[in-house]
Amino acid sequence: MTPVDTAAVQAQLIERSGRIRSALEHVRHDDQLVHLLKDVDAALERIGSGTYGICDVCHEPIEEEYLRADPLVTVCLEHLSPGEQKTIERDLELAARVQGKLLPMCNTRVYSWEFCYHYEPFGPVGGDYCDLIRPSESGGDMYFFLGDVSGKGVAASLLVSYLHATVRSLLHSEPTLAGLMERVNRLLCETTLSSNFITLAAGRASADGTVEFVNAGHCHPLVVRGGAIRSIETTGLPLGISFGARYRSVTTKLAPGDSIFIYTDGLSEARNSEKEEYSEARISALVARESGVTPEALIGIARRDLSAFSGGSGKFDDLSIMAMRRLSEGT
């Protein structure tokens, strides 16, 4: 995420100060407005003196995301009053609940595909995007998406919601997966949120086992086909970087027993106390070794292996894993 642009904040605050002053001329006196004007002018003074964005209590920089959400804050999150902290906690709880509702049904079956995922945000809300779109009543394909918005926390989660809505609304007006990615990419580049970018693995699976992938700069999805493992390399830039970006798709056909494993870098880049990465190689080896189990079991094995590897070093990023397996017809 780009740092807070103090000059832009200053311009906004000057405009805001002017608007409050003219409002005060009309309403004569309003305690709330007077108070707000004082806060706006104090923030402008801090910008002038070079102390803007520094906590009044501990003199450490205030969290950028928090400052961006409210440019008038004078203390860091840790030094808010208990009442203020409660309000923020309540907002985050609500945001987490909204985000939870956007997730697809887990441990489900579509055609002959078994599907499961694990979604674990680093904080109350996450910057990973996970979705499964089932075919319509009249048939058609199933779509699955696993992505990662740069940055973490509330700002990243807002972009996840935006992406969720954009993909779902454009899905049926774009005949190809690559075309869909190109359109979503252009929209992302046009939004003001474009200081972030998104890596995304997108897939379309048919009832007959055909799977098409587009990989926009995401960790390589793994396909286990007839016991052999293949990784789906990048087929285009991460979304939100270049307006004219083009995407290619890769198609493969899976037989009963074959599977797909997709993850975010919260898995591959997790580190242990020796600062070693969990690594793509370790993930590939695990998926190749355990490919006979159900998607739910495979995700469970991967999570246990990760926690054995990282020991007590704790998580550092959002973690998402998606797994699919093709059942034999009629099971």
Residue 63 binds Zn ion, judged by CB under 5 A: no
Nearer to Zn ion, 11 or 58 (CB): 58
Q: Which residues fall within 8 angstroms of residue 40, CB to CB, at 6 or more apart?
A: 13, 16, 17, 20, 72
Residue 76 binds Zn ion, judged by CB under 5 A: yes
Give the Cα-Cα-Cα angle 115, 117, 121 (nearest 5 degrees): 165
- Ordered strands of the 259-263 beta sheet: 108-110, 113-120, 319-326, 259-263, 222-225, 228-231
Q: How far is the CB of 63 from Zn ion (least distance, A)?
A: 9
Nearest to 159 by CA among 214, 199, 120: 199
Q: How far is the CB of 74 from Zn ion (least distance, A)?
A: 10
Q: Which listed residue (11, 34, 58, 281) binds Zn ion by CB under 5 A?
A: 58
Number of residues that bind Zn ion (CB under 5 A): 5
Stretch that binds Zn ion, among 24-32, 55-63, 247-255, 321-329 (CB under 5 A): 55-63
Residue 55 binds Zn ion, judged by CB under 5 A: yes
Q: How far is the CB of 88 from Zn ion (least distance, A)?
A: 14
Q: How far is the CB of 46 from Zn ion (least distance, A)?
A: 15
DSSP string, 62-77: PPHHHHHH-TT--S-G
Q: How far is the CB of 91 from Zn ion (least distance, A)?
A: 20
Residue 285 binds Zn ion, judged by CB under 5 A: no
Nearer to Zn ion, 45 or 60 (CB): 60
Q: How far is the CB of 56 from Zn ion (least distance, A)?
A: 8
Identify the residue whose tokens are 């509330």.
154
Nearer to Zn ion, 72 or 207 (CB): 72
Stretch that binds Zn ion, among 69-77, 208-216, 270-278, 305-313 (CB under 5 A): 69-77
Nearer to Zn ion, 74 or 112 (CB): 74
Residue 271 binds Zn ion, judged by CB under 5 A: no
Kindly report the number of other CB atoms within 10 A of residue 175's CB atom: 8
**Cα separation, 272 vs 120, whole angstroms:** 18
Q: Which listed residue (6, 10, 72, 79) binds Zn ion by CB under 5 A?
A: 79
Residue 57 binds Zn ion, judged by CB under 5 A: yes
**Cα separation, 237 vs 186, whole angstroms:** 12
Nearer to Zn ion, 53 or 240 (CB): 53
Residue 84 binds Zn ion, judged by CB under 5 A: no
Tokens representing 53? 């964005």
Nearest to 289 by CA among 281, 255, 307: 281
Half-sphere CA count of 150, side-chain side, radius 13 A: 14
Cβ-contact 206, 112 below 8 angstroms: no
Chain residues binding Zn ion by CB under 5 A are: 55, 57-58, 76, 79
